[in-house]
Amino acid sequence: MQTTVNIIEFLESIMVPCYFKLMFGINCPGCGLQRSIIFLLKGELWESIKMYPPLLPIVFTLSLYFFNRQYNYPNQAFIFKVVAWALCALVSVNFLVKFWIEFVGL
């Protein structure tokens, strides 16, 4: 347990600032990902989802990628492409919603 705490503290200490936000003043499509990963490692699933909703689909897509490298099944490439494009759409929608909330307001 102590090792996990040390890893989380280390990750919190080396968080990289968003250079996109520093340069342009708006959140990038990946803003919140680092903090979301840290929340997930701490076991705070709901906080992780609130911070960056596409994190769990990203984890699923990466898992599918590594699964595809080990096993073959029908329509493997097509299924992965559909999942990858759906992930791209989800990240884009997340970005647009955050942008809309920040500049137009709710």
Torsion of CA 85, 87, 89, 90, to 10 degrees: 170
Distance CA 82, CA 30 (A): 21
Structure confidence at residue 38 (pLDDT): 92
Measured CA to CA in angstroms, residue 53 lies from 11, 15, 28, 56, 85 at distances of 20, 19, 14, 7, 16
Domain ranges of the chain: 2-103
Residue 3 has pLDDT above 80, yes or no: no
Rounded to whole angstroms, what are the CA distances from 42 to 8, 38, 85? 8, 6, 29
Q: Rounded to an integer, what distance in angstroms lies between the CA atom of residue 33 and that of residue 73? A: 31
* pLDDT one-digit tens code per residue, 75-95: 999 999 999 999 999 999 999
